[in-house]
Structure 1
Amino acid sequence: MSHRVAVELSKAYRLLNHGPTVLVSSAYDGAVNVMAAAWSMPLDFSPPKVAVVIDRNTWTRRLVEGSGEFALNVPSRELAQQTLAVGSRSGREVNKFDEYGITAFSAEKIGAPLINGCLGWLECRVIPEPHIQERYDLFLAEVIAAWADPAAFVEGHWSFDEGSPRSIHYIAGGNFFETGEAFDVKK
């Protein structure tokens, strides 16, 4: 039997919660916002779909519900400070772009901005699922455009060459790690 220790159920999510942290950007009715989200994941290949948790109390939630779209931006270590900051304040209180020096550029297919300095960008259109949105704060979306920094993502794969920028992963309490060293397993 493997050695093991009990994990508090309130902390159990941390056993799985080390996918890349994303910045969710949104826009609606003249307002823009960005928030950090550690809980996002791909759902399907064709058409590509994603899921992300957007709490009902966030300003982003209002903008996403109003517009029916959002962008997932994959930050690197260079944006870790801003990532933590935008996850700690509400867009109702402050313009996060101005407050934290975040710059953005226009998406091609949606109104939400794309965040400069990220490694990847997914433009997403919400697939309406009112029950799961209301009950679980879970939003499903189709990815309608995707972009990547060629220094980080080459020929459909993350680059693990030395010096390549890496995605960051939030593990609570202000702690992040970068994606580590790649290794192959031979069949």
Structure 2
Amino acid sequence: MPASTVETVELAKAYRLLNHGPTVLVSSAYGAQRNVMAAAWCMPLDFEPPKLLVVIDKSTFTRELIEASGEFAINVPTQAQRALTVAVGSDSGRERDKFAELHITTFAGDTVAAPLIEGCVAWLECRVIPETHNQNRYDLFIGEVVAAHADSRVFSAGRWHFGPEHDALRTIHHVAGGAFFVTGPMMDGGAD
């Protein structure tokens, strides 16, 4: 891992990295090829083993690499990465290397070959659980989370804690037409 603030998240709490509905960056790799795309439709699915759902259109290069490799990574970007999120979600990586063109720095995960993107606040390494019907009909992929990591400045002890000192690290939420919301202040619900 690149920074001392990146820590392993226990798999039993990995769902909490996505439970608040952030826009994500889906990274993939197969052989010498790699790609990244933005996705607004990603959510936790199950606890044991931890699973998530993500919608990946059949026309994308990312999907080709995922289908070839059987794995992918979910990266949770920050509001400081909004322009990057829009850029990787606007064009295909089939004819160009988005990582080189957009100067995206990556690091290796623990388990999957898909690159993890520096500057994000959470990373989930996933293996595809084959569900051909769902993939073909609904573009819906189920991933088993095999490793999870988070930036301890904003996620530790199984909880997000966005404070004013880390406003740039707040996650973003796409609401259509290029508009985003940013994760707001924490409200205590009184339950654990």
TM-based fold match above 0.5: yes
CA offset digits 1:87-107 (Å, max 9, x no partner):
000011321111111110111
What is the match of residue 96 of structure 2?
Answer: 94
Pair member with larger Rg: 1
2:81 pairs with 1:79: yes
User: 1:130, CA displacement in angstroms?
Assistant: 0.5
Distance 1:123 1:186, change over 3 A: closer
Q: Deviations over 1:149-168 (max 9, x none)?
A: 01110211001322232111
Report sequence identity in percent. 59
TM-score by length of 2: 0.85
**Partner residue of 1:175 out of 173, 176, 179:** 179
Structure 1 window deviating more from structure 2 (91-100 vs 104-113): it is 91-100
Number of the residue aligned with 1:5: none
Higher mean Cα deviation, 74-83 or 160-169?
Answer: 160-169
What amino acid is aligned across from residue 156 of structure 2 in structure 1? V
1:146 to 148, 157, 161: 148
Inter-partner Cα distance in structure 2 for 1:42 and 1:57:
24
> 1: CA distance between counterparts of 2:190 and 2:136?
45
Q: How does 1:1-187 map to 2 (within 5 A)?
A: 19-164=21-166, 165-186=169-190
Aligned residues: 170
1:3 is aligned to none
Report the aligned-residue RMSD.
1.2
The amino acid across from 2:173 in the alignment is H
Q: Where do 5+ consecutive residues of structure 1 fail to align?
A: 1-17
1:117-157 Cα deviation digits (max 9, x unpaired): 00000000000000100000000010000000011102110
Q: Which has the higher contact order (CA 8 A, sep 6+)?
A: 2
TM-score under structure 1 normalisation? 0.88
2:28 and 2:39 map into 1 onto residues whose CA distance is: 13
| Corresponding letter in the other structure for 1:24 | V
**Structure 2: 5+ residue stretches without partners:** 1-19
Runs of 4+ that moved beyond 4 A: none
Moved more, 118-127 or 169-178: 169-178
